[in-house]
Amino acid sequence: MKAGAALLSLAALMQTLPATAAQDAVRARSNYIHHCTGCHLMDGSGVPTKGIPSMRNTLDRFLQVKGGREYIVQVPGVMNSALNDGDIANLMNWLLPYVTPSGLAPGIRPYSAAEIAGLRNSRPVDFDGTRRRLVSELRKAGVTIAE
Ligand code: HEC
């Protein structure tokens, strides 16, 4: 059932992507390898003991709390990368299902280049504090994520 739900939500996500979805996925994966795996590792499990959080089955949880959708693309590793807004949107739309083998919650809106461009102008100063606030809001909602 869980796998079925994952397939359904992936199918829903794919429908909202352009016809070149397969090419976009190849490009996103390649960008992930070149720009992110040095810290986050290939499977997104990171190095939590060194402050690099695991994204596995947790990244999509941030989308459930106010400010989380913004936070996960505003972190320095994403916005300070050499990737342009379109590539960041494409990468995040690929990354969310990729690091969520347990299945994405339904109804996740894909990122667009325009949304990423807008979020560049409103980045938090204190990422640690922002993350702690989001994690504590998630905890109140019954979702536990490592600090
Ligand atoms: C130099 C190491 C480094 C690189 C490279 C890097 N990150 Fe990160 N990332 C971190 C650290 C450390 C954090 C924890 C928040 C912080 O301190 O910025 C983080 C947090 C995140 C988060 C939020 C996850 C959470 O649970 O808080 C996301 C999403 C993310 N990174 C995605 C990416 C993507 C996508 C790339 C490639 C474009 C990338 N990162 C490149 C180190 C890195």
Domain ranges of the chain: 2-140
Q: What is the pLDDT of residues 76-104, one digit of tens each?
A: 999 999 999 999 999 999 999 999 999 99
119-142-63 Cα angle (round to 5):
20
**Spacing, Cα 52 to ligand 1 middle (Å):** 7
Task: Please provide residue 126's backbone torsions phi and psi, each rounded to the nearest 5 degrees.
Answer: -110, 95
Residue 41 neighbours by CB under 8 Å, 6+ apart: 47
Predicted local confidence at residue 7, as pLDDT: 67
- 97-111 pLDDT tens trace: 999 999 998 889 999
Instruction: Give yes or no for a contact between 75 and 9, defined as CB atoms under 8 angstroms apart.
Output: no
For ligand 1, say whether the CB of 35 is within 6 Å of any of its atoms: yes
Gap from CA of 131 to ligand 1 centroid (Å): 12
Q: What is the pLDDT of residue 146?
A: 80
The reported pLDDT for the residue numbered 106 is 85
Residue type, 86: G
> What is the third-level CATH fold of 2-140?
Cytochrome Bc1 Complex; Chain D, domain 2 (1.10.760)
d(CA 27, CA 56): 21
Summarised one tens digit per residue, pLDDT across range 21-45 is 889 999 999 999 999 999 999 999 9
pLDDT at position 18:
59
Is 141's C-beta closer than 6 angstroms to any atom of ligand 1?
no
Q: What is the SS3 assignment for 52? A: strand
Candidates 33, 40, 65, 119: which one to mutate for ligand 1, based on the most atoms within 8 Å of Cβ? 40
DSSP state of 109: P
